[in-house]
Amino acid sequence: MLFRPTRSALYMPGSNVRALEKAKTLDADAVILDLEDAVAPDLKAVARAQVCGAVAAGGFGHRQVVIRINALDTPWGKYDLEAAAAAKPDAVLVPKPNDASDIERANDGLRRAGAPDTVALWAMVETPLAILNLRELAGAAKHAGSRLSCLVLGTNDLVKETRIELDAARTAALFWLSASVTAASAFGLTVLDGVYNNFKDNEGLEREARQGRMLGFDGKTLIHPDQIKASNRIFSPDAEEVVWARKIIAAFDLPEHQGKGVITLEGRMVELLHAESARRTVAIAEAIAARMPTSL
């Protein structure tokens, strides 16, 4: 299984040259170079040139490089998409899609702009309509030629649109979060949790990242370098989990267990479906270890 960890995805404003340079040294699994919300209208063109120049020049190492463009119905979206396609990042992140047709439009735009197949499409989930249409939005991944590979929660926009109040347990957001994870799972997509705004409160970030992991997210989007370490740790399989996963795989590989759907291991029932999860856990752990040999 080819697996690329996405435990931490750090946003940075495309207009901030220093942040773009710093991205090459940070331990984030992904960097999201933003042309949208983090860039003021007057700086859109400058940010586009800076970001696409930096991506084309490379030097981001193991990090997945993602360009978040402006929505396609804004004055900047089309130009962002064309410039991003030419810069060949790992993915283009499209903001504010409401349904499958918005995903189709981004897919078509990338194809027409000549983006190689290696450029994936990521989509924000940040409008009430997107929540209502999650099944068809995520399902667009199965359309012919679709590049959609990842959903990214935009919790700040959803809070704004719905006027909910968020407590520390994100009670009012749980529906969006679980619905997004369910839709991503149904269509084999990666899914990333929203950002934690108070970047000086590391305890709060850890609590929220742990909650995100419990809810089934693959990683968290971040806004500040100080949030990377905790997110990487929390979204990595822990050492005990990996040991147990290896035991399960080894047990099913024993000649006496060949062809069995269920076995007993250390007094617990273990089914073939657990072996599948175990293989995924080990694959994730190995992908992380391959990049940071000392991290596990």
102 binds Mg ion (CB under 5 A): no
d(CA 194, CA 126): 9
Q: Which does 97 bind (CB under 5 to 8 A by kind): Mg ion, ligand COA, none?
A: none
Distances in whole angstroms, Cα of residue 140 to Cα of each of 115, 239, 259: 19, 36, 36
Smallest CA-to-CA distance from 180 within 222, 140, 150 is with 150
d(CA 108, CA 184): 21
Residues 202-231: x/- map of binding to ligand COA (CB under 6 A)?
A: ---------------------xxx------
Q: Give the interface segment with ligand COA, choosing from 11-19, 159-167, 211-219, 252-260 (CB under 6 A).
A: 11-19
Tokens read off for 139: 């399902």
Smallest CA-to-CA distance from 38 within 59, 67, 63 is with 67
159 Cβ partners below 8 Å, 6+ apart? 166, 173
d(CA 145, CA 121): 11
Q: Give the interface segment with ligand COA, choosing from 17-25, 80-88, 112-120, 185-193 (CB under 6 A).
A: 17-25
Q: Which does 176 bind (CB under 5 to 8 A by kind): Mg ion, ligand COA, none?
A: none
Which residue in the set 19, 110, 248, 263 belongs to the binding site for ligand COA (CB under 6 A)?
19
194 binds Mg ion (CB under 5 A): no
| CB-count exposure of residue 216 (10 Å: 0-12, 13-18, 19+) | middle
Task: Give the up-direction half-sphere exposure of residue 19: CA atoms within 13 A in the CB hemisphere.
Answer: 19
Cβ distance to ligand COA smaller for residue 170 or 274: 170
Q: Which does 244 bind (CB under 5 to 8 A by kind): Mg ion, ligand COA, none?
A: none
195 binds ligand COA (CB under 6 A): yes
Q: Give the interface segment with Mg ion, choosing from 33-41, 113-121, 262-270, 285-293 (CB under 5 A).
A: 33-41
Interface residues with Mg ion (CB under 5 A)?
37, 126, 154, 157
Site residues (vs ligand COA, CB under 6 A): 10-13, 18-19, 22-23, 34, 37-38, 195, 223-225
